[in-house]
């Protein structure tokens, strides 16, 4: 089969599409013929060596952690799927930018017929990061005020909509060119970060979801409500210290919290998101679709940090 491959860390544009061995379904796995796969910042970070795991997980490394396609074969112990089923899958750290991928059946759900393969492929990583960031890390619930910083990209476009589904009032922070899209996705208020610094606003939010992420708990603390939560997509020493600092101040009445999201692919979360998409409540925003031959350049473009929605690679 053909796949986008990398032999060493470096420029995402150095990726080569070449023939590699077909994967075989291991215990509990499906073999999926990939129709579309989607790109994520984790892909270029692994390729550039900027991810916490410094080694390429496998050589040649095939990037891509999400895809949609058709089940071609499966381990005999897998129940609930059939050859020919159209599915949406999380593939783990890599392997999606290929004609075939072997994936755990636990991380696969059936694709609704009214969802294209391109739309479906963009859901798993960004959708689950948004869902787990808002529902689990922030504990967002109805009636709360949510601000999404970096609302126009992969996670952000899902976060705005999931915020609305969970019943929040949603402020979306993005460049002006994305405001019309975000209003269409349900954002109640819009901030152009090139003109206005939300962290200096005279408003308060119960949850600030720093998707970009380019702010800190300290910077956002002023605009958090009394028991407000700041959630970042970049765990590390800064958020850990901020979280500890907030805990130490809690006996003195300080109730604001600093949290982070670490994506955990879960079949039930994927099923929830795909279910919402099938019902028309959640839109998978495909900003751009490219071919497998163009995927290395698209990955480089993603690394500039200003894409709209999801970049999808048409594989079949
Ligand atoms: N912790 C985890 O488990 C986890 C999981 C997935 C992703 N992530 C991380 O989450 C981050 C976001 O992922 P993503 O998929 O949403 O990325 P993305 O698709 O590349 O989107 C980033 C968005 O940020 C916006 N942006 C850039 N500079 C901005 C600024 N100064 N202020 C406000 N918005 C700005 C960009 O749009 P405009 O500038 O044009 O408005 C773009 O739409 C990445 O760093 C990724 O590595 C973490």
Residue 60 pLDDT > 90, yes or no? yes
Does residue 74's CB lie within 6 angstroms of at least one atom of ligand 1? no
Domain coordinates in residue numbering, the chain: 2-122+284-314, 126-260
Q: Which CATH number fits the domain 126-260, given the four candidates 3.40.50.880, 3.40.50.720, 3.30.230.70, 3.40.50.11740?
A: 3.40.50.720
Using the predicted structure, report yes or no on whether residue 103 has a pLDDT greater than 80.
yes
Mean pLDDT of the chain: 96
Which mutation among 305, 309, 311 tests ligand 1's pocket best, with the greatest number of atoms within 8 A of CB? 305
Q: Inform me whether the pLDDT recorded for 54 exceeds 60.
A: no
Residue 219 to residues 58, 89, 190, 214, 272, Cα–Cα distance (Å): 39, 37, 20, 10, 33
Spatial distance between the Cα atoms of 205 and 46, rounded to a whole number of angstroms? 34
Q: Do domains 2-122+284-314 and 126-260 have the same CATH topology?
A: no
Predicted confidence band of residue 58 (pLDDT cuts 50, 70, 90): confident
What's the whole-number mean pLDDT along residues 98-112? 98
In this prediction, residue 59 carries a pLDDT of 82
Whether residue 16 is predicted with pLDDT greater than 70 in this model: the reply is yes
Q: Answer yes or no: is pLDDT of 104 > 60.
A: yes
φ, ψ of residue 37 to 5 degrees: the values are -130, 160
- How many angstroms does the Cα of residue 17 sit away from the middle of ligand 1? 27
Going along the chain, which residue ranges are E strands?
2-5, 16-19, 29-38, 66-74, 86-90, 100-104, 108-110, 145-149, 169-174, 189-192, 205-210, 224-232, 257-260, 286-291, 310-314
- Fold classification of 2-122+284-314 (topology level): Quinone Oxidoreductase; Chain A, domain 1 (3.90.180)
Q: Give residue 51's pLDDT.
A: 78
Nearest to 91 by CA among 119, 63, 128: 63
Q: How confident is the model over 1-30, as a mean pLDDT?
A: 97
Percent of the chain surpassing pLDDT 70: 98
CA distance 233 to 148: 12
Per-residue pLDDT, averaged over 60-76, amounts to 97
Whether 306 has a pLDDT exceeding 80, the answer reads: yes
Q: What is the mean pLDDT of residues 273-282?
A: 98
Model confidence band, residue 316 (pLDDT cutoffs 50, 70, 90): confident
pLDDT of residue 26: 96
pTM for this structure?
Answer: 0.97
Q: Is the pLDDT of residue 57 over 80?
A: no
Atom of ligand 1 nearest to the CA of 173: 33
Q: What is the pLDDT of residue 219?
A: 97
**The pLDDT value given to residue 79:** 93
What is the distance between the alpha carbons of residues 170 and 158, in angstroms, rounded to a whole number?
Answer: 12
The predicted-structure confidence for 226-276, as pLDDT tens digits, reads as follows 999 999 999 999 999 999 999 999 999 999 999 999 999 999 999 999 999
Q: For the range 179-185, what are the long-range contacts, defined as Cβ-Cβ under 8 Å and sequence gap of 24 or more?
A: 181/152, 181/157, 181/285, 181/308, 181/309, 182/151, 182/152, 182/157, 185/157, 185/160, 185/161, 185/283, 185/285
- pLDDT band for position 55 (50/70/90)? low
SS3 152: coil
Mean pLDDT, residues 116-134: 98
242 within ligand 1 shell (Cβ under 6 A): no
Confidence of residue 203 (pLDDT cuts 50, 70, 90): very high
Separation in Å, CA 50 to CA 42, 231, 234, 240 = 9, 21, 13, 20
Convert the pLDDT of each residue in 144-155 to its tens digit. 999 999 999 999
Residue whose Cα lies nearest atom 8 of ligand 1: it is: 233
For the Cβ of 154 lying below 6 angstroms from any atom of ligand 1, the answer is: yes
């Amino acid at each position: 089969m053909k796949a986008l491959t990398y032999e060493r860390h470096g420029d995402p544009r150095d990726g080569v599409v070449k023939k590699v061995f077909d994967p075989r379904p291991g215990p509990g796995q499906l073999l999926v013929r990939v129709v579309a796969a989607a790109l994520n910042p984790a892909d270029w970070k692994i390729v550039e060596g900027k991810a916490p795991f410094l080694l390429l997980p496998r050589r040649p490394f095939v990037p891509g952690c999400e895809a949609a396609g058709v089940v071609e074969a499966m381990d005999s112990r897998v129940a609930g799927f059939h050859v020919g089923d159209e599915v949406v899958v999380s593939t783990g750290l890599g392997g999606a930018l290929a004609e075939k991928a072997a994936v755990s059946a636990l991380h696969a759900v059936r694709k609704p017929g009214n969802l294209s393969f391109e739309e479906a492929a963009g859901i798993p990583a960004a959708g689950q990061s948004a869902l787990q960031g808002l529902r689990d890390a922030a504990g967002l619930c109805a009636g709360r005020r949510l601000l999404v910083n970096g609302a126009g990209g992969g996670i952000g476009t899902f976060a705005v909509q999931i915020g609305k589904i969970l019943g929040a009032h949603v402020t979306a922070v993005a460049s002006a060119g994305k405001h019309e899209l975000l209003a269409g996705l349900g954002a109640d208020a819009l901030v152009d970060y090139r003109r206005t610094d939300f962290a200096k606003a005279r408003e308060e939010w119960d949850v600030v979801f720093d998707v970009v992420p380019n702010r800190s708990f300290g910077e956002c603390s002023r605009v958090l409500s009394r028991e407000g939560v700041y959630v970042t997509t970049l765990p590390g020493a800064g958020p850990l210290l901020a979280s500890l600092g907030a805990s130490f101040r809690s006996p003195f009445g300080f109730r604001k919290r600093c949290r982070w999201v670490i994506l955990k692919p879960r079949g039930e979360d994927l099923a929830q998101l795909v279910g919402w998409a099938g019902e028309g409540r959640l839109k998978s925003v495909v900003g751009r679709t490219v071919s497998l031959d163009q995927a290395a350049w698209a990955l480089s473009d993603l690394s500039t940090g200003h894409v709209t929605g999801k970049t999808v690679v048409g594989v079949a």
